[in-house]
Chains A and B, each alone.
Chain A
Amino acid sequence: MNAEVRAMKTAAEQALSAAFAAACDTLPGKGAVAALREDAFKRFDAKGLPHRRVEEWKYTDLRALMREAKPLAGPAGAKPKGDIEPVLTGVDANHTAIVNGRYEPAWSDFKDNDPGVSIVELFKFLADEPGYRLGETPGSGDPAHWLNTAFMSGGVALRVKRGAAPAKPIHIAHVFSGDAGAAMYPRVVVIVEPGAQLTLIESFSGPEGIDYQVNSALELVIGDGARVDHIKVGCDGGAALRVSTLGVAVGAKANYKNFAFTVGGAVVRNQTFVRFGGEGSEGAIDGASLLKGRQHVDNTLVISHAVGHCMSRERFKSVLDGESHGIFQGKIIVEPHAQKTDGKMMTRALLLSDEAEADNKPELEIFADDVVCGHGATAGALDEGLRFYLMSRGIPAKEAEALLVQAFIGEVVEEIAHEGVRDALMFAALKWLGSR
């Protein structure tokens, strides 16, 4: 008997099939790209939306959480006044806007003309550079990623040339601008050539109260000796559902830092796949989530050490209020021969209410024998002794809690190297505290 009997398709799955059949001829990219789409959708269709019996998606049952598949988002319209991502106001960066899943130069604000940086519309890039193989970065075997490949509607390819080091961060802003629920499937390629340096900010935002859906994917190729600081800012509207897949291929003697900051969205899954493919590299995958109401935020990491002599650190902190649900899944894989690997993972959840829930699932899969790997996880309420100490000095309960939460989050936010971004995120955290 075949154990993989597919249950009846859900309404969302049926809608996705119909949408793909209707759109596959008009979606951008011909030839190899079209074949890639076709293949990805076939794979998705065979498995359907991931659900709780799929181990990697255990805590984020997309089949249950995604009741319907929204129609593909329409054109962006005119750019509203103000900054593209208010949270980053005050951060001096070059902004590239991807609105409703498509690159919008008119919404972008790319001030610098650095010869070491090129930014091109995704499908133009794929046509110009047939040598680039889309979807070769880790994570491409995931059902949500298949869905992105099937429906990808636009995006950009960013290249930082060999040895270049753009002075300002490059900000890729994903924005949903519709006034009714719709779905967007942006795809971004980032290539950081050997010896280059980049501070990359990715942000996600959209209006409050609109149940839009985002399935984004970013593939990042880091050359030998390159350095990338990557900050993800999740400020989606409170009714949004977003799944973001990040695949990173790290070369030798490179340095990759990722920080995922999440305050927005109803259901958010950040899935990050990092593969160390060259010796002597270091990676730090960190994050902070501040959740309230009924928010559900899942940070899932798969860090794979394919070669030895690399170091990875994962530090995640979440603050959970109301009935929110924070999930951290972290897997470190040390492949055979990846000796002298040093991998450590730490996650801490601070529960501000009795109804909030934190799930931690650390996993180590080690196939080499000369490695140092470890993980630790804690979840708990605010320390009563600390709270009393602060209150005994005259600080009211609410203010004492805010100070302690700020300190808790601050410990990881401080890891962000870029001062402007660090301050902006700390300010966003304070704002979150103020709105409790």
Chain B
Amino acid sequence: MALAVGQPLGRDGNLNRLIQVCEDEDVALLEIKNLHVEVEDKKILNGLTLTIEKGQVAAIMGPNGSGKSTLAYVLAGKDNYHVTEGDVLLDGKSILGMAPDERAAKGVFLAFQYPVEVPGVATMTFLRTALNAQRKTRGEPEFSTPEFMKRVRETSKLLGIDQEMLRRAVNVGFSGGEKKRNEILQMAVLEPRLAVLDETDSGLDIDALKIVSEGVNRLRSPERSMIVITHYQRLLEYIVPDVVHVMAKGRVVKSGGKELALELEATGYAQFADEAA
């Protein structure tokens, strides 16, 4: 264990988190080992192994039905996704026994492919409840209202989300682009250590894609890792990954640098159909 001199404290200045981060300096942030997952008795993930380093932005690409979204849900802890074999380690410790809210408090965040509408719950209330619940679970003091408001206002401005939207019920009556921007707003406010972006580009026009990508890029930091799940290479022009993993039939079949995405764009996914079999 080494406490690096001059390493910035977290934005919340919480020493415990920093110490924890430093303690685990030699361990990868996320290690997925030989993961097998069934949904309704159907095998979806089939021995998936993947390591995400601290601060790394990893793209996961693959054809429809390769298990990308299942991986996202399993990481977030959704019910009815049964892990039959393997493990998922965050900071070297298994998170499979944890409820979704506990994982969130540990720093896992999923930006949903289809963000859910929450009628009757104002976005602002939702954000504050979530942030304070996480802080409470971590044993940190709750945010004061002015401090919280400032944080949300700044971020929403950058994402082109107007104040009126924050007063409206979460995602209710939002356009596809607004919903995705709202996901990134939540990510910015909750400051996760591992963000999983599930097809964040789907349903976005080019302008919205740029805004969302800029929002994501602003959140890149040596303390934050990201898994960017996408079907197309287009998103990766805006969010440039450190590594690209290709999934097929429930496992990673190829890994490489960002140029792999371009290669795939040219050749398609058909070549992997056999490799995974």
Residue of chain B at shortest CB distance from A393? B130
* Chain B residues positioned under 8 Å from A394 (CB to CB): 101, 104-105, 130-131, 133-134, 137, 190
Contact B118 A399, beta carbon cutoff 8 Å: no
Contact A408 B116, beta carbon cutoff 8 Å: no
Partner of B120, one of A390, A392, A399, A406: A406
* Chain A residues positioned under 8 Å from B79 (CB to CB): 384, 388
Contact A392 B131, beta carbon cutoff 8 Å: no
- In the complex, which range does the number of interface residues on chain A fall in? 20 to 34
For the complex, is B112 an interface residue (Cβ under 8 Å from A)?
yes
Residue of chain A at shortest CB distance from B135? A394
* Chain A residues positioned under 8 Å from B116 (CB to CB): 385-386, 389
Contact A388 B78, beta carbon cutoff 8 Å: yes
Bound-state CA distance A384–B169 (Å) is 18
For the complex, is B16 an interface residue (Cβ under 8 Å from A)?
no
For the complex, is A208 an interface residue (Cβ under 8 Å from B)?
no
Q: Render A361-402 as a binary contact track against B, CB cut-off 8 A, 1 for contact.
A: 000000000000000000000001110111111111101100
For the complex, is B174 an interface residue (Cβ under 8 Å from A)?
no
Partner of B119, one of A388, A400, A411: A411
Bound-state CA distance A392–B134 (Å) is 10
For the complex, is B177 an interface residue (Cβ under 8 Å from A)?
no
* Chain B residues positioned under 8 Å from A385 (CB to CB): 116
Contact B120 A410, beta carbon cutoff 8 Å: yes
Contact A396 B78, beta carbon cutoff 8 Å: no
Quote the shortest CB–CB distance from B180 to chain A (angstroms): 14
Contact B101 A395, beta carbon cutoff 8 Å: yes
Partner of B190, one of A391, A393, A396, A410: A393
Q: Render A405-422 as a binary contact track against B, CB cut-off 8 A, 1 for contact.
A: 011101100000000000
Partner of B121, one of A396, A397, A407: A407
For the complex, is B76 an interface residue (Cβ under 8 Å from A)?
yes
Quote the shortest CB–CB distance from B22 to chain A (angstroms): 23
For the complex, is A117 an interface residue (Cβ under 8 Å from B)?
no
* Chain B residues positioned under 8 Å from A392 (CB to CB): 76-78, 100-101, 103-104, 109-110, 112
Quote the shortest CB–CB distance from A386 to chain B (angstroms): 6
Bound-state CA distance A410–B121 (Å) is 9
Contact A395 B133, beta carbon cutoff 8 Å: yes
Q: Is the interface of A mostly helix, strand, loop or mixed?
A: helix
* Chain A residues positioned under 8 Å from B126 (CB to CB): 390, 393, 403
* Chain A residues positioned under 8 Å from B137 (CB to CB): 394, 396
From known contacts A388-B100, A394-B104, infer whether A399 and B119 are also in contact, taking CB-CB under 8 Å: no
* Chain B residues positioned under 8 Å from A384 (CB to CB): 79
Contact B76 A399, beta carbon cutoff 8 Å: no
Quote the shortest CB–CB distance from A286 to chain B (angstroms): 15
Residue of chain A at shortest CB distance from B187? A393
Residue of chain B at shortest CB distance from A388? B78
* Chain B residues positioned under 8 Å from A408 (CB to CB): 120
Bound-state CA distance A236–B135 (Å) is 39
For the complex, is B84 an interface residue (Cβ under 8 Å from A)?
no
Bound-state CA distance A387–B104 (Å) is 14
Contact A399 B129, beta carbon cutoff 8 Å: yes
Quote the shortest CB–CB distance from A327 to chain B (angstroms): 24
* Chain B residues positioned under 8 Å from A396 (CB to CB): 99, 101, 133, 137
Q: Render B243-268 as a binary contact track against A, CB cut-off 8 A, 1 for contact.
A: 00000000000000000000000000
* Chain B residues positioned under 8 Å from A391 (CB to CB): 77, 99-101, 104
Residue of chain A at shortest CB distance from B115? A389
Q: Which of B100, B112, B137 has the most CB of A within 10 A?
A: B100
Bound-state CA distance A215–B103 (Å) is 53
Contact A389 B105, beta carbon cutoff 8 Å: no
For the complex, is B186 an interface residue (Cβ under 8 Å from A)?
yes
Bound-state CA distance A389–B129 (Å) is 13
Contact B120 A395, beta carbon cutoff 8 Å: no
* Chain B residues positioned under 8 Å from A388 (CB to CB): 76, 78-79, 100
Contact B133 A397, beta carbon cutoff 8 Å: no
Residue of chain B at shortest CB distance from A411? B120
* Chain A residues positioned under 8 Å from B100 (CB to CB): 388, 391-392
Bound-state CA distance A406–B121 (Å) is 8
Bound-state CA distance A391–B104 (Å) is 8
* Chain A residues positioned under 8 Å from B99 (CB to CB): 391, 396-397
From known contacts A394-B134, A395-B129, infer whether A389 and B119 are also in contact, taking CB-CB under 8 Å: no
Residue of chain B at shortest CB distance from A383? B116
Bound-state CA distance A386–B171 (Å) is 12
Bound-state CA distance A183–B126 (Å) is 46
Bound-state CA distance A391–B78 (Å) is 9
* Chain A residues positioned under 8 Å from B190 (CB to CB): 393-394
Residue of chain B at shortest CB distance from A409? B120
Residue of chain A at shortest CB distance from B189? A393
Bound-state CA distance A390–B137 (Å) is 15
* Chain A residues positioned under 8 Å from B76 (CB to CB): 388, 392
Bound-state CA distance A78–B83 (Å) is 65
Contact B130 A395, beta carbon cutoff 8 Å: yes
Bound-state CA distance A384–B77 (Å) is 13
Q: Which of B131, B133, B169, B190 has the most CB of A within 10 A?
A: B133
Bound-state CA distance A406–B115 (Å) is 20
| Complex A-B: 24 CB contacts under 8 Å | A386-B118, A388-B100, A389-B118, A390-B126, A390-B130, A391-B101, A391-B104, A392-B78, A392-B103, A393-B104, A393-B130, A394-B105, A394-B130, A394-B137, A395-B129, A395-B130, A396-B137, A397-B99, A397-B101, A399-B129, A404-B118, A406-B120, A407-B119, A408-B120
Chain A interfacial positions (CB closer than 8 Å to B): 384-386, 388-397, 399-400, 403-404, 406-408, 410-411
Chain B interfacial positions (CB closer than 8 Å to A): 76-79, 99-101, 103-105, 109-110, 112, 115-116, 118-121, 126, 129-131, 133-134, 137, 169, 186, 190
| Given A394-B137, A397-B99, A407-B121, 18 other A-B residues pairs in contact with their CB atoms under 8 A | A384-B79, A385-B116, A388-B76, A388-B78, A388-B100, A390-B126, A391-B101, A392-B76, A393-B130, A393-B134, A393-B190, A394-B105, A394-B130, A394-B133, A396-B133, A403-B121, A407-B169, A410-B120
The 3 closest A-B pairs by CB, nearest first: A407-B120, A394-B104, A394-B134
